[in-house]
A and B are shown apart, each in its own frame.
Chain A
Amino acid sequence: APAAPPLSPLGCDDPESEAAAQFAVNYINGHSHHGYKFALNRIDNVRVVSQGLNNDIMYLELDLLETTCHILSPTPLANCTVRSFTQHAVEGDCDVKLQKLDGKLSVLASKCHSHADSSEDLLHVCPDCPLLASLNDTEVLATVTAALNDHNSKAAHPYLQLLEIGRARIQHHPVHSVSVEFAVAATNCSAAEAKGNAGACQLLPEDQSNFGFCTASRLLRPSEDLSVDCQLYGHQVPAPSPPRSSQDTS
């Protein structure tokens, strides 16, 4: 009997590839502890190696884009906006190895690296757009400190502590301004208690943790101005952590 025709290679837009890619993106976001959630932008390549009946290894090359949701945000990925090109987009390139056993997907390994769009490309399209700045830039650090102090001085409770700076952009023309985004966590102090001894304030234990996110913009020239907006997510019941296995994620 003639040999069965070879299976046509899986296409990058086939439903099976799409399902595997979405599974991989959820895994990547679920195992990331810093920065922002990423959304699928393009499946660059897919390769399937059969291991036997109903047992395939899938290799995916994925092109992701950063969203505006911090990784600690409870917002579902589907509701997270992909950062626009003019906001100085950040792209993630991921190689993911999955196993599909009896129709059930699992990630065996994943490796990602992210990089911002080139400043030249952005300025070519938008000459006055602010560019991403280094997170340890002195103006960035000063803006985050000023914004957090401003919020804590106005909010009665709870005193917020900085978790991490997510992103920062500096504009030099036509005005000189710094805009920052940072993640915060509630402490066991009220603002009044913190006034006395902020060093004694502790982050809440995990079963009461309350994370949040702040955006701030500081005008430096032609005049000084500061606007801050902090939103706490409220206590989130932590998702059951996936069973530790030999999965290699870097």
Chain B
Amino acid sequence: PMAKRAVAEAAQHDKVPRPVGFVPPPPPPCPGKIRHFSI
């Protein structure tokens, strides 16, 4: 019988372990921030 695992438990197991010292990539340099609104 298929046992439905709790989401948290599944997510725990599925989460890919990150290497030590992992630094998220910097935001792309361009385009820059929107100062008013975009049309």
Could you tell me which A residues sit within 8 Å of B by CB distance?
Answer: 8-14, 17, 39-46, 63, 65, 82, 85, 89, 91, 117-118, 121
Cβ contact within 8 Å between B39 and A43: no
Query: B interface, by DSSP: helix, strand, loop or mixed?
Result: loop
Residues on A with C-beta less than 8 A from B29 are 8-12, 14, 46
For the complex formed, measure the closest distance between the CB of A119 and the CB atoms of chain B, giving whole angstroms: 12
Residues on A with C-beta less than 8 A from B32 are 11-13, 17, 42-44
Residues on A with C-beta less than 8 A from B33 are 12-13, 42
**Count of chain B residues near A, Cβ 8 A:** 11
Residues on B with C-beta less than 8 A from A46 are 29-30
**Pairs of residues from A and B, 7 with the lowest C-beta to C-beta distance, nearest first:** A12-B32, A11-B29, A12-B30, A43-B32, A117-B39, A13-B32, A44-B31
Cβ contact within 8 Å between A41 and B30: no
Residues on A with C-beta less than 8 A from B31 are 12, 42-45, 63
Residues on B with C-beta less than 8 A from A11 are 29-30, 32
Q: How many A-B residue pairs have CB under 8 A?
A: 52
For the complex formed, measure the closest distance between the CB of A198 and the CB atoms of chain B, giving whole angstroms: 41
Residues on B with C-beta less than 8 A from A9 are 29
Could you tell me which B residues sit within 8 Å of A by CB distance?
Answer: 29-39
A91 to B33, CA, bound (A): 16
A65 to B37, CA, bound (A): 9
Cβ contact within 8 Å between A45 and B34: no
Residues on A with C-beta less than 8 A from B34 are 41-42
Beyond A12-B32, A46-B29, 6 additional contacts (C-beta under 8 Å) are: A9-B29, A12-B31, A13-B32, A17-B32, A117-B39, A118-B39
Cβ contact within 8 Å between B35 and A40: yes
For the complex formed, measure the closest distance between the CB of B33 and the CB atoms of chain A, giving whole angstroms: 6
A32 to B12, CA, bound (A): 60
For the complex formed, measure the closest distance between the CB of A124 and the CB atoms of chain B, giving whole angstroms: 12
For the complex formed, measure the closest distance between the CB of A63 and the CB atoms of chain B, giving whole angstroms: 8
For the complex formed, measure the closest distance between the CB of B24 and the CB atoms of chain A, giving whole angstroms: 16
List the B residue with the shortest CB-CB distance to A62: B32
Cβ contact within 8 Å between B39 and A42: no
A17 to B29, CA, bound (A): 11
For the complex formed, measure the closest distance between the CB of B25 and the CB atoms of chain A, giving whole angstroms: 13
List the B residue with the shortest CB-CB distance to A65: B36
A9 to B29, CA, bound (A): 8
